[in-house]
Amino acid sequence: MYSSPAIQHPEIETLQAELHNAYPQTILRRAVDMFGDDLVVVTSFQPTGIVTLHMLQEIAPHLTILTVDTNLLFDETYQLMDRLEREWGLNLIRVRPSQSVAEQAQTHGNALWLDEPNKCCELRKVIPLKDALQGYQAWISGVRRDQSASRAETAVVSWDKRNEKVKFCPFATWTESMIWTYIHAYDLPYNALHTQGYTSIGCFPCTQAVQAGDDLRAGRWVNHAKTECGIHVQNPL
**Residue 2: what pLDDT?**
35
- Is the residue at 4 inside a domain? no
- Is the residue at 217 inside a domain? no
Domain that holds residue 105: 9-192
Give the closest residue to 137 by CA, choosing from 12, 10, 17: 12
How far is it, in rounded angstroms, from Cα 136 to Cα 29?
A: 17
How far is it, in rounded angstroms, from Cα 129 to Cα 163?
A: 9
Q: CATH number, domain at 65?
A: 3.40.50.620
- Is the residue at 130 inside a domain? yes
- Is the residue at 24 inside a domain? yes
pTM strictly above 0.85 = yes
Q: Which of 39-53, 163-177, 198-212 has the lowest average pLDDT?
A: 198-212
- Provide the annotated active-site residues: 229
- Is the residue at 232 inside a domain? no
- Is the residue at 213 inside a domain? no
Share of the chain above pLDDT 70, in %: 89
Q: Which helix (H) or strand (E) holds 220?
A: none
Please tell me the total count of domains within the chain: 1
**Residue 166: what pLDDT?**
95
* Torsion angle of C-alpha atoms 213, 234, 29, 65, degrees rounded to 10: -90
**Residue 181: what pLDDT?**
98
- Is the residue at 17 inside a domain? yes
- pLDDT tier for residue 229 given thresholds of 50, 70 and 90: low
- Is the residue at 36 inside a domain? yes
